[in-house]
Every structure is written in structure tokens, then in C-alpha cells.
Structure 1
């Protein structure tokens, strides 16, 4: 157990479970994770290994005795007939039989129907009336001669979910965790290892949860196969339903005109459509029209009566092309069926998660640490659903007045949902709020930029914010805009303000200084702008959307090294050590690398790549060329740290480069620098470890051959001139 495991067990005693236990008990049972974790939470909510082992065996026994396998349904029906009663775990759905004036239950795996259910049971668990709920039920058998009556008698039924939730206690317990700790707890609770995900990837994962805590929230996520897009909607909560195939009838989704029975949107907090993309799909136009009205107004009509509902909608699917193709040839929603590739439908989407930024799910990405029992977190989100957190947007900041009503609604709803998830006690700081607002602006801007590509009737707006009461505007850009600065707007139907040449020049420019704290979009802030005669922009006007900077364009344009600051967003491309440090290494003879994390193979490989850049810029003359590394020791006994450093030294020595290193064992080495000839001190907040995971052993990997094609972690660099 690590420190977070211990803290989580101490603060949320009884509400956490070790996440790898689900795999241990699931076996061949096709049971959702929240069902298994409900059972594990009752039997294994402890950090005592012996009690956990006992609890796991108990849960296995419960599943073996009570879970209904379809293949064994006949034998179980016989057991019920021969015994007084039998307890089973099965998915139960209920319907009203008007002729009998009674509610009748159907047990899906058991293959039994028309079992009488009391009106009180249905009233307490109304979701039984739609698509079914996993339950623990006691069934008895009493033969009768009536043709339309079942001999099975339902003695007791309990949905597998928490019976009550203490929201005030939840908020108080949340206050014991920092924001970073809390995010990791939530990611663990979903079932993923937070150490395998970057900050941006974690926020994308949490945005999926907004559909459960925010009413009428509309989300789309398209991306490659295997990124876990549908996991949260199929396994996470008993309050959501995933529709496979992405198609459903108006009667099933909204209301059945013949019976007056309300559909899925009336009973579930979130209705998700899996495999939603696909141009060959031809959903009926009538459901699209009803859906557009519902997404905009929270109401629908399929007859004379107007009906309101609160279900959020999530649309997930696979892209058929990569991002480059969509940016340069079509648009980011080009994979949708034709009837959904409609500006009116797209405009009602509050957020677009770029699934292409999500890693393909690997075995090592699953969590084996403690996290919340899924049902506990699901109930926490449900408890916050009726609460209004929309005012949190205006506590510290104001949005650009040019943002349209629908754009603002999308930004506000995403912000409100993430605030509920991250800060249920409304105790966020201005810096924490800025990160969420900027993120919400980006995921809505992706929707708006797609609209501008397909419909000329939309107007451009400034996705910008600034501190409440005044100050400089902070413009927000999508990551695609930064990665493809010269082609991102090339297919827009809405005319760009200015010529294409002006657009390219602007896209290669830099943001104004950020008055709110550390910048989170890519920007370069030189401290000698005034000396260069650059005119300051008006503080009361948002920059154009084109002011979002491509870091690669800015860095590559450096003709002379300058003092300044550079910040890059997670998953951005276009960066290399050459672009970051090349100009500063010109003619250098003495370089010192201070980085406590040069321990593993890939970290030592980073040092080798930096030396390759340095050798292209060193002036090999009579003066010695020295590079010295100061790092911290690796804590693992089988470490090859010194072996790797020795191999680097031997590799570069014949070329005239003297590479040395010192391993600082004091435990006080934290800061990371690159010092060059007593002229430059370059502060590296991540050291040299700026790349996201890629296969460096694949000779045909483009990321291995071209650093500019790699995705980066979020990082900042400060260039300071000394001497």
C-alpha cells in the first residue's frame, strides 16, 4: 500500500476496495463491475490482507451459489421448485400487465417471466420498468393451474446499489485530499492507474463522468478503437445505460405513443450510444428531430403532450481517418451518419473529447490499488445532479462577451460538472478554476470549429477568459489548432479575418503575458519584448483565435537565443531538443545537466539525444568539450543506471566529448537545470523527461526517428541569462 492507499482507507473507511479484486472474482460471470464491487465492498472494504482474502472467497462463494448462468438456468429453476426458496443474482425488468392490473417481472438469465411484483417495490425502484436492473432476489415456487400466472413467487428483491448516501460526509472527507490526490483517487475508482496517464488524459476521463452529475449534458467522443470510450457507460454506474450499435427507436428512447410509456430518457441519468459513428448507418430522421429538440430544450413531444426529462446523452464511436486527414480534408465529425452530420445537432453538443489523444488500453494501465467502490462514487455523482454549480464559472473569471449563448452553455455545463467532481465543497482556488475553465472552453471550441467548417451561417467568437474585474484576455486554442497552425482553418466556411498569409503569421505569433499564473496553453514570453520594440496589445480586447501559438513554429524561428518562458500542453507535437536548446548550445564548451530523474533506460536515452544535439552545435577546437550530469540514485536493486551512463560515456568519448556524471545520494536534489558556459541557466520543470511513452525499440517507429512527431507531457522551460 502506498500513502494514498492508506489515506483513502483511513478517510473513506468502508467505501473503498482494491480494484484488482474484480478480476479475481469475476471469472466467467457476465456481471457488470458495479455489481461485483458492491459485493466486494460488503466483504473486502479493508486493508487487512487476510480479511481481503477471506472476503474474496466469500464473494466467489456468493457468485457460485447465487449468480444465474444462462446455461444452468434449468437446473436453478428445478432447485427453486424443490427447495423452500432460493436466492439468486440476476438482471430483472418489470412491465405493467394492464389486463391483470399487475406488475410482472422477467428474470433475464433465469428465463422466468410474469412473476408478480408489488407496486411498492416498483415505486421504490422505477428503473426496473426500463431495460432492467441487477438485483439480489429471493424466489419461491408455488404451483397453480392458471395459464397466465407464473408459479414463481418473488419474496424479496434488492437492487444492487447503495440504499443511502451522506453528501455532507462525502464533502468533508474530500477536504482531506489535495486536488492532485483527489484526481488520482477518481481515476483509480474508474479502474485505471493514474501513473500511466497525463494530466490532460485524466481530465478527459473525468469529463465522461460529467454525464452522471450534470443534467442534460451532451457529450461526443470519437477516436480510434480500443481506447475505452464506452467503459464508463457500460460498467461504471447503475444509473446509466449503453445502447450498443448506436441505434434506437423513438418509442424506446422517448415515449411509446400506443402505451404512453416514457422511454429511456425518463429513467436513466445517462443514455450513451455506442458505435455511434458510421456513414453507412441510416437512422430515421424523426428520431434525430426529436433528439435535437430534447438536447436543446430538455423536452420532447410525440403527440399532444410535451414531456420533460433530465437524462444526459453521450455519443461514442470510432473514427475512420486520422486527425491529419480530418483537419486537411474533412472535419472532426465527418464519421457521423449523414442525418447527424447536421449543424443543428452538432451545435447542441456541449463538449467534444478527442479520442485520438487517448492511449489504447493496455494491461498495465489497469489499477491494482484502492479506489472507491464504483457504486459509492456513482451515488455521489447522482446526489450532485440537482445541484447548481454554474456560478463557479463567474467566481474568479469572466468569459468573452462575444461567446454565443450555446457556446456559453456548453462551457458552463462542462465547468459545473467538473467542479462537482473535483470540488464538491466549492473550495477551488483561482488557479484551479482557471485550468477547468480553459479545458471547458477547449472542448466546446472543438465543436464550434467543426460548425464553422460545415456551415457559413455561424459567426466566429473569441474563446477567451480573463480575471473578474478586468485584465488581459487569455485566448484558448484546441490542440489540433496548435499542431496544424497553417491548415486548421483552411477549410472554414466562415471567412477568416485577414489573408491566409496573415493567418499563418498570426498562428506563429505568441500570446500576451498571462496575468493569472502559469500559462497552460503553448506560449513563449520573451522578457525583452519592449527592447525589441513590440507594441503591447490592448488589455480589454480578446486576441483573435489565430493568436494561439504553435510552439514548434516559435521555437524554430529563434535566430538568437533569448531569455523567456515556454509552456507546452500535454499531447502537443512539434518539439525536439534541437528546437528547445540548439541555439543556446552554439559554440558551447561546458554544459551541466542537473536532473534527479536520469535512472531508467528511456531517461538515459534522453541524455543521449541531448548529447547528439549538443555535438551538432559544439565548436570542436583546442578547448575541451565537457558535459557533466548530476542525478539521483535509482532506488531499485536491479537498476542499470550506472551501466547506461557508462555506455553513453564510452560512446561519445572517441568523438571528443568528455561526458561525466555524479550520483547525488543526499536526497536533497530536486531542481532541474541545464547550465551552459556560465551564460545560460535553463530551468526545466520536468527535466529532460518531456516525452510521452513511445516504442523506441521499433526501428520503423516515426516517433523514434523524428522527435517532432512525439506527443509531449505538459512542461515549462524558463531561459535565464547569467553572467
Structure 2
């Protein structure tokens, strides 16, 4: 039985095909959970006929009941003419003290000051949070003279499941392998598991940790377009996404209004996610907000007004990075892009997990799920219930961390372990190796925070933490390291162990490589000559370039694109540019049938290169000449362009090493066209 059939059998009536919401949504600014709430009522089937009929019904509901802002007046007229009408809109409620009544505001309909019954507010306190709740409302109109308020809320139902059977959800876990369950969760959040490896899936699922753990402090920074804010904006009616530049102490914690203290967002939501959490010109951060935030992140409480308030809302901070990871590791730190006011040890030390968003590929069309996953409203309710299940102590059954770790280090690792276990092993049935995988992931996420603290705040260097633990099953000591440190061979920030001390004592001064002066020259290559590489021919002339323009009209066939990739790899290897290198290709494509395929290939290449510090662009304006130009003034005229090699077989060493290839006859002329 395949995964999709298992899903349908285990969660009949609670799943939906994940691409359906996109088919209905179009350009509507409606959260996915609102659409899937409706799709779950009409399309919870694998029968194409039922799905198509259901889609039409959902489209009719959206067409007839969803309020478009541009059509607000028409809807008001419809309500007046019919006496009442059912609408879907976002509702926010405030208390009008003068009238001693609650009053509702409708975001799209544009109505304010509409009286709403106290019972509705008592049952749905999020209406008072200031961010609004999507609801299905029957709105009536009162005709006649001397009517103070003509609008009347006759029925109101928030778009969310009222109750679930958590045990039923947990019991279904036994019907899936771990790989199947992880893929099932990926489908549930709307992503295609087939295009992601296991680590990428774990990083994606880690975005759910603030939803499943109380008071979880989460941060993810990475390139644009990787879905960092998706689960906070679209997944759950229990979470709220706010712009990082628009948050105030009053909105977040407590608003003082006269003698009253009105609780802010942390009092109503499971998760408050700060979107676009990055440095922005002209925006200053309130110092009081940072102090209050630090206290809340550490103690789950805050002081505003007359008293101390407690809350369980998790905090998530998501934003874009300004530079590549290698650049940050070499020149600054991994927190460099967040607002300067937050780059301080006392604040950052409270982060439980730093999720490496740069490891997730930019989302494309095939990145999104077309399979069946849980209705987002259902999984949101499940995660909400699981917040009451604390599994932090279970880590002690498997491992003991080094005593040099601070209590905050221990707590962060335990909370991440607890959350990931609830997500992937909700029934608690987990093997030793699976537990070790979660422990390693949790420890790495916290070590990423601590490594940067050593750079940002020197006081942390006084008591360095050794991120290692004793694995009880074997008694071995396991050291934890972040993947980016391994990839880029960063210096051990925890101080030196015996091995590092030996390296330090035996280290000899490195001699500087001799740099040959660059001169204009012409190179002639004979037919069938071997041992020739792009690096040998012109690598030295590209070493310091920040902008490289390649003009070659014949980059269209797969093998020619392979040559381009080899060229870009060479640039990456030799470049000493401190930051992003821009490479622009100007080529031709006269084959209308192939142009779309070539554009897709170039776009895929650009997406892959950007996190590596290479900005790749292209156009189809090349003429006949073939050459390379750099911003340092060198022009490299290429007789054959990049196509300098004879054909070679698929199963040949020539595929992986240019030195093994035989060349066509060609000339390369290198000249300085202006002072570099």
C-alpha cells in the first residue's frame, strides 16, 4: 500500500489534496487554513468526480460569501435588500467602554462599531487580540427609522475545528514507518517531500516547533523564497504573523488604556512570528520592547503596568540574510542581518534553536505538494493540544551532556528534542538511533547560537561550552558540530582540546603564494591537445573580479550548458572577492521550441548559485563574437567560446576532470581594455 492510500485510510475525512487550495485561492488574500476548512467539507476524497464537484461548491462559497474589498458596497447593498447574508471576513473586536459593549470591525467589508454579543467574545477571546479572526458570519440589516445601528451579527463561527480526538491521531502513527510519517507531515505543510532530503525535511519540520512547544524561542535566517514564514502565515489559526518593524510593547504585551491593562498578542496566540526580522533603514526599535522581550523569553513572564503577567506564546523570528554563509563566517557572524538593537548576547542567548534556512532550496513549482495531507486546521488543532505534553525529561534516558553547557543550553536542547519527538514520534515509540538523530539535531541548533555568541559578546568566551554528550547505550562521547562549520572548516570556538593544542604547537607559518603579474597575452591550443582547463587558460584574470560578463551565442545544448557550469565552478574556486560575484551570460536561442527549456535551466542554475555567493543573470542578445569581460578591465577573446573540448562519452573520466579531455584547435587573446 502506498503512502497516499495509507493517509486516506488512516485519516478519512481529515485530509485534502494539497494543491486544491492553490486552485481555489487565485489572488485572494485568504489564509490556506480558511480554504482548506471549506475543502475539507466538500473535497475530502480521492474520487476525482467528488473532488471536482467539491471544488465547484467551494468556488461558489468563495464567490458568493467571501467579501472582496472592492465589492464591499455591493455586499452591503445585498445584505440590505435581503435582510441578511452569510459572509466570510476577518473580524476584530474592541470593548467600547462608553457604551459598555463589544464592537466588531470587518476588515474587508469596511464596517466598524457593529455590536457583537458577549457570548461570542467569551467563546472566542482571540477576537480581542487586535489581529482579527477569520469567521463565517450571518450579518443582518435592520430597516426603519431611528435605528442607531443597522448592522446585526446573527451568527458567528470562527473558521477552525472546535475539538479533536488527539488520541485517535496518536494511535494512527503505528500504521506508518518513520520515513512515511515525515513525508506525510511534509505533505501536510504543503511541500513535496520527493524533492527534499532527510535533513531538509527536518529543518522544514523544525518550523513547527513553536506550534508544538510552549515558550519556544525560534530563529531562522536565510535567502528569500525558501518558505520561512509559510507555516506561520498559512498553517494555523493559533499563530499570528506580524511585521518585525511594526511591533510595539503595547501591541505585543500589554496596552495601558486609562486604568485598564489590555493584554497583547502573547496572551491570545500560541505563536507570535516576527516576519522580515532584519535591518531596515529608518526603523528604530524601542529599548523598552527589547528589555521586556528579554525577560519574557527567559522567564515566560513580563512586567507592564501594575503587575506581572505570564503567557505561553512561542516567539519566532524569521528574516532574510544579506550575505552568503561563507562570507558571514569569515567576515562577521550569522546574526548580522537582524536589527542591530537585537544583536546583543543577553537577547540572543535566549534562542533555543537557530534553524539554518540557507540549507533549504528556493521554492519552485515542483516544491509544492500535490498529494494528500491533513487539513491545516486539523493539524493546527493537534499541535495546539500537544503543547500540553512535556517530553523534555525523556532526553535523560539516552544521553548526558557535558557539564560545561549552561542551563539555557540544556533547556534549549531538551525543548527542541521534546518538540521534534512530538512531531515525528507522537506515540512515544522511538528507537535509540532515532533518538540520537533528534538529539544531534537539537544540539546543533543550539550550538549554532552559542558559536555566534562567542563572536558577538566576549563575556561568553570566559566559560566556553563543549557541545558533546555521553551516549548511554555505548558509553561513547559524541561531539556535536554545525554543518556549516564542518563545510567551511571553522576554528573550534569552544577552546582547544588535546588534538587542537597539538595542531597549534606544531603549526608553522604559511608562506604566501607567489602571485604572478597579469599581462596581456595570446594562447594557441593545438587540435587534440590535452591537459587544458579553464582555470589554466584564464583563471588568474578572473580571481579578483566582482562582475564577469560572458558573451557566447552558443550556450543552448545540454553539453554547452555543462561547459557554462564548469566555468562558473572554476570562478567559484579561484575567486577572492569578499562578497557576491555577479556573472552575466549573453547568448542566443533561435529555437522557439527549446527556449523555454533553456530558460528553466538557467533559472534553476541561478537559484542554486545565489546561496553560494554567485548572482547569475542572462539574456539572449549575443551576436557572433565570443568573449569574457571583467570589471577589473580584462577582455578575454575566445575563438570557440567555452566549447573548446572534443566530445567524450558518458562513462569517461573526462566528465569529471577537464585535464582528461582533448581539445579542438582554438586561440585565446587576453587584453587589458582599461586600467583595472
Give TM class, smaller chain. 0.7 to 0.9
Q: What corresponds to 2:374 in structure 1?
A: 372
Report 1:261-276 matches (<5 A): 261-276=262-277
Deviation at 1:332, TM superposition (A): 0.6
CA contact (8 A) 1:35 1:134 kept: yes
Q: Distance in 2 between matches of 1:210 and 1:340?
A: 22
Q: Distance in 1 between matches of 2:198 and 2:651?
A: 42
SS of aligned partner of 1:127: helix
Query: Residues 357 and 654 from structure 1, CA distance in 2 versus in 1: closer, same or farther, beyond 3 angstroms?
Result: closer
The answer to whether 1:467 aligns with 2:471 is yes
Q: Distance in 1 between matches of 2:413 and 2:504?
A: 28
Query: Residues 286 and 503 from structure 1, CA distance in 2 versus in 1: closer, same or farther, beyond 3 angstroms?
Result: farther
Gaps of 5+ in 2: 508-557, 567-646, 657-676
Report 1:106-145 matches (<5 A): 106-130=105-129, 131-143=131-143
SS of aligned partner of 1:120: helix
Query: Residues 31 and 470 from structure 1, CA distance in 2 versus in 1: closer, same or farther, beyond 3 angstroms?
Result: same
CA contact (8 A) 1:394 1:468 kept: no
Higher relative contact order (CA 8 A, sep 6+): 2
Deviation at 1:398, TM superposition (A): 2.2
Q: What corresponds to 1:83 in structure 2?
A: 82
CA contact (8 A) 2:89 2:135 kept: yes
Q: What corresponds to 1:575 in structure 2?
A: none
Query: Residues 86 and 658 from structure 1, CA distance in 2 versus in 1: closer, same or farther, beyond 3 angstroms?
Result: closer
Q: What corresponds to 2:484 in structure 1?
A: 480
SS of aligned partner of 1:257: strand
Deviation at 1:399, TM superposition (A): 2.1
Deviation at 1:245, TM superposition (A): 4.1
Query: Residues 31 and 273 from structure 1, CA distance in 2 versus in 1: closer, same or farther, beyond 3 angstroms?
Result: same
Deviation at 1:425, TM superposition (A): 1.1
Q: How many residues align?
A: 517
Q: What corresponds to 1:314 in structure 2?
A: 316
Q: Distance in 2 between matches of 1:110 and 1:207?
A: 37
CA contact (8 A) 1:94 1:103 kept: yes
Q: What corresponds to 1:92 in structure 2?
A: 91
The answer to whether 1:163 aligns with 2:162 is yes
With 117-126 and 241-250 compared, the bigger mean Cα shift is at 241-250
CA contact (8 A) 1:228 1:361 kept: yes
Q: Distance in 2 between matches of 1:653 and 1:33?
A: 46
Query: Of the candidates 355, 358, 364, which is equivalent to residue 356 of structure 1?
Result: 358
Q: Distance in 1 between matches of 2:18 and 2:299?
A: 39
Query: Residues 466 and 71 from structure 1, CA distance in 2 versus in 1: closer, same or farther, beyond 3 angstroms?
Result: same
Q: Distance in 1 between matches of 2:90 and 2:21?
A: 19
With 87-96 and 109-118 compared, the bigger mean Cα shift is at 109-118
Report 1:173-184 matches (<5 A): 173-184=172-183
Q: Distance in 2 between matches of 1:293 and 1:11?
A: 43
Query: Residues 503 and 253 from structure 1, CA distance in 2 versus in 1: closer, same or farther, beyond 3 angstroms?
Result: farther
Q: Distance in 2 between matches of 1:343 and 1:63?
A: 48
Q: Distance in 1 between matches of 2:272 and 2:418?
A: 20
Deviation at 1:392, TM superposition (A): 2.1
Q: Distance in 2 between matches of 1:315 and 1:275?
A: 8
Query: Residues 33 and 506 from structure 1, CA distance in 2 versus in 1: closer, same or farther, beyond 3 angstroms?
Result: farther
CA contact (8 A) 1:328 1:488 kept: no
Q: Distance in 2 between matches of 1:357 and 1:443?
A: 13
Query: Of the candidates 392, 395, 402, which is equivalent to residue 393 of structure 1?
Result: 395
CA contact (8 A) 1:113 1:150 kept: no
Deviation at 1:157, TM superposition (A): 0.5
Q: Distance in 2 between matches of 1:445 and 1:341?
A: 17
With 277-286 and 290-299 compared, the bigger mean Cα shift is at 277-286
Deviation at 1:26, TM superposition (A): 1.1
Q: Distance in 1 between matches of 2:87 and 2:368?
A: 30
Q: Distance in 1 between matches of 2:650 and 2:190?
A: 47
Deviation at 1:454, TM superposition (A): 1.6
Deviation at 1:10, TM superposition (A): 0.6
Q: Distance in 2 between matches of 1:237 and 1:172?
A: 23
* Structural RMSD (CA): 2.7
Deviation at 1:470, TM superposition (A): 6.3
Q: For 1:264-295, what per-residue CA distance to the aligned partner results, in whole angstroms no more than 9, with x for missing partners?
A: 00001000111111164421111000000000
Deviation at 1:175, TM superposition (A): 1.6
Q: For 1:589-613, what per-residue CA distance to the aligned partner results, in whole angstroms no more than 9, with x for missing partners?
A: xxxxxxxxxxxx99xx9xxx9xxxx
Q: What corresponds to 1:228 in structure 2?
A: 227
Query: Residues 462 and 75 from structure 1, CA distance in 2 versus in 1: closer, same or farther, beyond 3 angstroms?
Result: same
Query: Residues 651 and 76 from structure 1, CA distance in 2 versus in 1: closer, same or farther, beyond 3 angstroms?
Result: same
SS of aligned partner of 2:109: coil
Query: Of the candidates 298, 301, 322, which is equivalent to residue 300 of structure 2?
Result: 298
CA contact (8 A) 1:282 1:338 kept: no
CA contact (8 A) 2:471 2:478 kept: no
Deviation at 1:497, TM superposition (A): 5.7
Q: Distance in 2 between matches of 1:488 and 1:72?
A: 61
Q: Distance in 2 between matches of 1:654 and 1:409?
A: 52
CA contact (8 A) 2:221 2:319 kept: yes
Deviation at 1:143, TM superposition (A): 3.6
The answer to whether 1:16 aligns with 2:15 is yes
Q: What corresponds to 2:236 in structure 1?
A: 237
Query: Residues 279 and 56 from structure 1, CA distance in 2 versus in 1: closer, same or farther, beyond 3 angstroms?
Result: closer
Q: For 1:329-375, what per-residue CA distance to the aligned partner results, in whole angstroms no more than 9, with x for missing partners?
A: 11110112221001000000000011111111111111111111111
Q: Distance in 1 between matches of 2:294 and 2:101?
A: 36
Q: Distance in 2 between matches of 1:409 and 1:196?
A: 33
CA contact (8 A) 1:39 1:59 kept: yes
Q: For 1:28-51, what per-residue CA distance to the aligned partner results, in whole angstroms no more than 9, with x for missing partners?
A: 322110000000001000111110
Q: Distance in 2 between matches of 1:255 and 1:418?
A: 32
SS of aligned partner of 2:423: helix
Query: Residues 355 and 504 from structure 1, CA distance in 2 versus in 1: closer, same or farther, beyond 3 angstroms?
Result: farther
SS of aligned partner of 2:149: coil
Q: What corresponds to 1:450 in structure 2?
A: 452
SS of aligned partner of 1:651: coil
Q: Distance in 1 between matches of 2:255 and 2:145?
A: 34
